Amino acid sequence: MEKKVVVAVVCTVTVAAVGAVLLRRNMRKERKWARAMEIVKEMEEKCATPIAKLKQVADAMVVEMHAGLASEGGSKLKMLITFVDNLPTGNEEGVFYALDLGGTNFRVLRVHLGGKEGRLVNQEFTEVAIPPNLMVATSDELFDYIAAELGKFVSQESLEFELPPGRLRELGFTFSFPVLQTSIASGTLVRWTKGFNIEDTVGQDVVAKLSSAMKRRGIDMRVSALVNDTVGTLAGGQYFHSDVVAAVILGTGSNAAYVERAQAIPKWHGPLPKSGEMVINMEWGNFRSSHLPITEYDTAMDTESLNPGDQIYEKLISGMYLGEILRRVLLKMAEEAAFFGDNVPPKLRIPFVLRTPDMSAMHHDGSSDLRVVGDKLKDILEIHNTSLKTRKVIIQLCGIVAARGARLAAAGILGILKKMGRDTVKDGAQRTVIAMDGGLYEHYSEYSKCLEDTIQELVGEEVSKTIVIVHANDGSGIGAALLAASHSQYERS
């Protein structure tokens, strides 16, 4: 009998001890989960973009636009004069080329234009990835690589594209980095963005650099027009929609261009163009304002970037950075709240390991068990066996980061509409078309829908009826070829 009592007591003590351990473990788990939710709530609060704040951002954008147009260096916005004072009309004819260098890839295009009747007869292109080492190499190494691929594209052409003796192929060069343009076909690089950092190109004429590389490769081609991708998108957009007045790129980086009255550009000292208009390349990625909702993650990412203190707006809204912001939040949750277990996943410490396309795929996961989220965590970060609860939180964070970016981009567009006087309805309501391009806008549908909804929210129902957003697919490539055509040195047949 005594033995039974002892065993019973021992069992009771053991059960109690195990129960206490489990209770402590559960309490620790709950504390950690509570801390994780705290981090999410803090992020949501810091990223908040109420309409009043967005209108302040738009007003600050207008102020900076005026300052940038008044004088060189007068604003964080460069407001660069593009020398494009006539956009394509639709009458352009012939075969023209475009080189579109805008990020980690570049494209070479051949475009056959058929005038008013034929319009865009045919286009062909090839896309080439830029090896990461060339993004931080020398100017000659980068442009020689580009010229070699250009030569390869031309060498594979059929005889129908052969030009008469003595005639050069004409190229529109879309160069999507800040350039101080000195004519329609020349311009010096102000600085690199989007992860490029080639010091010996800064202050140099990028057309001369490309032309020298083409000459070294024996390529008979002339650069007729140097354009920014956003200006190319504006030109391409207007070729198909005559009411296009502005273009916005939302891809790896972000920028905007619009048509300004020449008389509203105090820093323009040349003769007024016949059209009375000039396309302005805003370089809006470098916009900054005290009204921008910046978090500790943005500050740390900026400090560790290749261009600290620059491109602050771009770092909040563009495809290069959204996935990285998400990674930084997840890392803090892993470190402070054991969000992925007791050990911090080593891959989560690698900057830019989580790309925005991966974030988009997770955000759009419609499966009941959020399988895509689980697969992305496993394949990219080597995080296995995540719970549905954990996956739901990750989707919530994707929504917070994407919505902030999209809503701030919408505020920038409102700034342009305000500067052009198109944010209100006037008698004989004019139609305002904005051409959009870029992988972020095209492929991240939660982002683009949020952007469009926010514009409507900002301008109100009546004005929003006059605003049309069109996706100018490949606008930068076709637009550059169109500008090469409209600035051809040869008389077009």
144, 205, 229, 302: the catalytic one is 229
| Rounded-to-integer distance, Cα 173 and Cα 195, Å | 20
| Rounded-to-integer distance, Cα 269 and Cα 288, Å | 27
176, 224, 254, 360: the catalytic one is 176
Q: Token pair for residue 320?
A: 């290069």
| Rounded-to-integer distance, Cα 101 and Cα 167, Å | 25
Residue 51 Cα to chain centre, angstroms: 23
Is 191 annotated as catalytic? Answer: yes
The 244-250 sheet, strands edge to edge: 80-81, 277-281, 254-261, 244-250, 432-437, 467-471
| Rounded-to-integer distance, Cα 10 and Cα 253, Å | 67
| Rounded-to-integer distance, Cα 425 and Cα 444, Å | 31
107, 110, 191, 222: the catalytic one is 191
Q: What sign has the CA pseudo-torsion 250, 284, 144, 97?
A: positive
Contact 247, 233 (CB under 8 A): yes
Is 229 annotated as catalytic? Answer: yes
Is 369 annotated as catalytic? Answer: no
From the list 314, 348, 356, 355, the residue with the least C-alpha distance to 331 is 348
Q: Please, what is the angle between helix 139-155 and helix 206-216, to 10°?
A: 60
Task: Give me the amino acid identity at 242.
Answer: S
Q: How far apart are the first and last CA of the chain?
A: 114
Contact 478, 236 (CB under 8 A): yes
Secondary structure of residue 181 in the 3-state scheme = strand
| Rounded-to-integer distance, Cα 368 and Cα 330, Å | 22
Q: What angle do CA 7, 8, 12 make, to 5 degrees?
A: 115
What is the bridge-based pairing of β-strands 179-183 and 105-114? unpaired
Secondary structure of residue 105 in the 3-state scheme = strand
From the list 251, 322, 253, the residue with the least C-alpha distance to 283 is 253
Catalytic residue numbers, as ranges: 176, 191, 229
